[in-house]
Structure 1
């Protein structure tokens, strides 16, 4: 393999861990357009909590890099010295659940002018099958004046980062790789294999690698939707869904999915990318979109169930005080992107309730900016008509929640983790 000089484009939950991993063996430029993010990383702080301060000690202040290490910068001029470019920008959906490729377009527009002969651009951002070659490559060609698969090449290696997971870190997750030619596929695979201890899998084409990524999360989304539907049915029947799942789980091949709110930047987003591509081809993906509708409606369902329990307990709903525990999209993680806890909160507010949001992990500034909601990071000194646990943060297990609930108040456990007696749960 040639001597890699790697640029990571986008330093979020995916890009930063990858940059730090590659920096243990190669010179790495960590590029992000967010100057505040760059300044934080240079000072040794990662707001996503994915990388410890000790892992940011490889930061270099000298350019050009001659040895392994990482240089963080918002200045795209420093990208010109690299020969491998790994794009890890976000690919969300818009308010209509349509794929939003604006960050990907911007990244390609940034890279085009610095591309040189034989450079390789590798995309990790989740996309629909075909997007790398149909959407990204034309931009790179236009901005660089170079010919695809003649002057420059591309690869695709889907990210498999699991935010907040300190066991399955980036180096311990098998990496799917691919390239725009068989030779480039081998180069891309060798690059990742040099740092990924879990190993790599070279897919036969870029489209196969892209499709593998979107179905990983679509499969999980559909399975969770099935269990969410079961929870609705069993609640009507007065049966404990978690007890049913535990009993069914004694069969060796029963899949251990649980009901809940499905948000985040993967499971709640990726299926829409595959669905949109299918619709463009004239096929209506019934199961994928039905699963999405089921999961996207769970916030409204939870809020309605809480209100029903409050009415049953003779609690006046309008003007009542409700404490919501957690607003991040998953437990023990500060990530609030596409969190469905917000759906629960907004639906509870629609009944005229006064909602307090307590989350020791979420950034109040980020929540305010993204959702225009106020959150607190310490347990309030108050009592409530209802408490709704939406996120299974470890801190919530050590709180005596009954001390915070008024007489006849409702304790609703979305995640099914509380040991205390609850009035309702999924």
Structure 2
């Protein structure tokens, strides 16, 4: 029977998991970020994944004191695994977390990793660190498991407990204990993978598959755009077949879909195979911000707008809708491309944190879309619900005629469910409307 659990890393993955586990167990939430711990103790979650009342009513013990880890016999590591500047795996957070856990590892404890890695990384990278730091012997004094996170930030429907949890252990005993712990809080059920490597591989291909499918949609969007065909109308027609997969073109940012394929590609090349399709998909998706920027420039020239000192408003800087996360933002890449083309770019995002955007990207967010109006063009790059409230009259007021509107985020599709002005743009002869 597990007596106490510690979740190491209280971000988008770790915090919701810790809160869920705290409904059944004594749980310590550890994060080395002192400010993060202070906020959580006050009931504030800057990721907006957990409600204040949930935090305040939880039995969770928040701490940045790593010694508290030694009280626990079940430890879950949920830290980021990004890529570096040349797109190679960056294991710095994982190594650091393993060192912290290792030097506070209780004999007999089970350590479960949730971070996305390539197949074999848990046993090749993490286990040796745990042994070195603890002085304990793997499979004799402590056990290791893997249970890949499947969190979708901002999604209030597919929450942790509603998603089947894949679990794996280094022994039959650890597998059963890990399945028992997760199974007690995951209502969707548990899938026991036959090995840690299988579970690692399953996780890394989930987002690789999505990346490749989105890349296909992006390439099709480019082809159809050159042919003068509306991509969305093509997709609507194709969706009528039962086995046509529902993917759409768009910006692929964040910390999962554009990152995980590089982990698999890295390991693939290490064993002597060049993953051509995986890398081709990555290259296509990485090129989309540049394509949109040049398309914007062409449309501005066609609309006879003066390019020198032209002003563009970009609405949205986070990596996806309705979340404040700006990691690996492709909207930023778009802003950068537009600036390199000589345009004056202003960014508005009511969801993102001003200070964080300034620190990460050097961008000063404007506080009101009318602040620097009129603009020569408006680009909606993220479909925040906040943007639905603006009327067509507002856009006519802030854009110089002819009204050039670029819909990168497919905001018009959102409008099918929420009444707004966006569905009118395609029919309004005063608007030049273009969508990816």
Tell me which interval the TM-score lies in, with the shorter structure as reference length: over 0.9
Aligned with residue 141 of structure 2, among 142, 151, 155: 151
Which residue pairs with 1:402 in the alignment? 396
Partner in structure 2 of residue 320 of structure 1: 310
Q: What is the aligned counterpart of 1:160 among 150, 155, 158?
A: 150
Residue aligning to 2:15: 16
Match of 1:361 in 2: 351
Map residues 216-255 of structure 1 onto 2, 5 A cutoff: 216-255=206-245
Contact 1:23 1:58 in 2 (8 A): no
Match of 2:409 among 412, 415, 423: 415
Deviation at 1:377, TM superposition (A): 4.2
Distance 2:3 2:240 in 1: 49
Q: CA deviation at 1:376?
A: 2.9
Tell me, yes or no, if the aligned pair for 1:327 and 1:359 is still in contact at 8 Å. yes
Alpha-carbon distance, 1:144 to partner: 0.6
Q: Tell me by how many angstroms 1:3 deviates.
A: 2.9
SS for the counterpart of 1:250 is coil
Identify the match of residue 273 of structure 2 among 264, 283, 293.
283
Stretches of structure 2 that go unaligned for 5 or more consecutive residues are 413-421, 427-431
Q: Who is 1:376 aligned against?
A: 366
- Identify which of 44, 66, 85 aligns with 1:76: 66
In structure 2, the residue matched to 1:57 is 56
Contact 2:42–2:56 under 8 Å retained in 1? no
SS in 2 for 1:362: coil
Q: Is 1:180 aligned to 2:170, yes or no? A: yes
Contact 1:359 1:378 in 2 (8 A): no
Measured in 1, the distance between the counterparts of 2:93 and 2:213 equals: 30
Q: Deviations over 1:199-243 (max 9, x none)?
A: 111100000000000100000000000000000000000000000
Question: Could you say what secondary structure the match of 2:266 adopts?
Answer: helix
After TM superposition, give the deviation of residue 97 of structure 1 in Å: 0.7
1:158 to partner: Cα distance = 0.3
Q: 1:408: how far off?
A: 1.9
Q: Offset at 1:407?
A: 1.0
Alpha carbons of 1:122 and 1:92: their partners in 2 closer, same or farther (altered >3 Å)?
Answer: same
Residues 318 and 351 in structure 1, CA contact (< 8 A), matched pair in contact too: no
Q: Distance in 1 between matches of 2:25 and 2:396?
A: 54
Q: Which residue does 2:417 correspond to in 1? A: none
SS at the partner of 1:407? Answer: coil
Q: Give the superposed CA RMSD.
A: 1.0
In structure 2, C-alpha distance between the alignment counterparts of 1:377 and 1:34, rounded to whole Å? 28
Deviation at 1:396, TM superposition (A): 1.3
Asked whether 1:269 is paired with 2:266, we answer: no
Give me the whole-angstrom Cα distance separating, in 1, the residues matched to 2:386 and 2:226. 31
TM-score (normalised: structure 1): 0.96
Shift of 1:415: 2.0
TM-score in terms of structure 2 length:
0.94
For the residues of structure 1 that align with 2:172 and 2:23, how far apart are their CA atoms? 27
Q: What is aligned with 2:36?
A: 37
**1:162 is paired with a residue of what secondary structure?**
coil
- Secondary structure at the aligned position of 2:289 is classed as helix
Count of matched residue pairs: 416
How far did residue 186 of structure 1 move?
Answer: 1.1
SS at match of 1:297: helix
What is the CA–CA distance in structure 2 between the aligned matches of 1:44 and 1:323, rounded to whole Å?
Answer: 35
377, 383, 393: which is aligned to 2:384?
Answer: 393
1:379: Cα distance to partner? 2.8
Report the equivalent of 2:325.
Answer: 335
Query: In 1, Cα distance between the equivalents of 2:34 and 2:269?
Result: 38
* Contact 2:348-2:365 at 8 Å conserved across structures: yes
DSSP-derived class of the 2:67 partner: helix
How far does residue 179 in structure 1 lie from its aligned partner after superposition?
0.4
- Residue 63 of structure 1: aligned partner: none
